[in-house]
Amino acid sequence: MKKIGILFGQERSFPQALAERINREGSGVVAEPALLGGIGLQTPKKYDLVLDRISQDIPFYRAALKKLSFDGTIVVNDPFWWSADDKFFNNVVAESVGVAVPKTVLLPSHEHPPDTTAASMTNLVFPLEWEEIFSCVGFPAYFKPYSGGGWKHVPGVRPRRVLRGVSGLRPARHDPPGGDRLPGVLPLLRSRGEGRAPHAVRPARAAREPLRA
């Protein structure tokens, strides 16, 4: 009997409906919520396939799924791809094959990544060329974390707000303690005018007001 494990988070309707549908088919395959606890190097294979819908938010699941995959479990989506999967690289790949994407600029994070200091930023350009950056993406625009989902931390920015508060968009090496904490987050600036996804990023204290027409 083949076994499918469904790994999910807060959603309830789809995983349950999918498991019921698979089990109703009665074709030698059974589906159930995947249960992952402590996993050792010798933990035997439990599932033939795992459908993953949550590991992007839970590092423990990502590590566990790599072990399952190595042991022969088919994991959808590939847990090894996650390390290369971010919004900026996805845009690079999409544009290379002719998919329309928003104008996008990758920016350094607002605060120091963990275990770094100002001395770690030797090669970071400062100040950033804001006029050139906003000239490239245009307005209106959005700040958006380079990874993650759910439209969290996606403020819109308008020209006057940006020009008034451009010092608030400084890279981490000259920032005082405190402020928005986005460890390891690289901001992504995208124009709303092109492509299908009107996104951007939030590195520093970018505008938090709703974007107005």
Q: Following DSSP, what letter does each residue of 56-73 receive, concatenated?
A: TT-HHHHHHHHHHHHTT-
Q: Is residue 164 within 8 Å of residue 128, measured between CB atoms?
A: no
Averaged pLDDT for residues 185-205: 41
Averaged pLDDT for residues 28-44: 93
The one-letter amino acid code at 16 reads Q
Q: Class of 2-83 per CATH?
A: alpha beta
The one-letter amino acid code at 15 reads P
The CATH 3.40.50.20 domain(s) of the chain lie at 2-83
Q: For all residues of the chain together, what is the average pLDDT?
A: 75
| pLDDT at site 171 | 37
Question: What proportion of the chain, given as a percentage, has pLDDT over 70?
Answer: 70
Element (H, E) at 159: helix 159-164
Give the tens place of pLDDT for each residue, 134-177.
Answer: 888 887 777 787 776 666 667 677 665 554 444 444 433 333 33
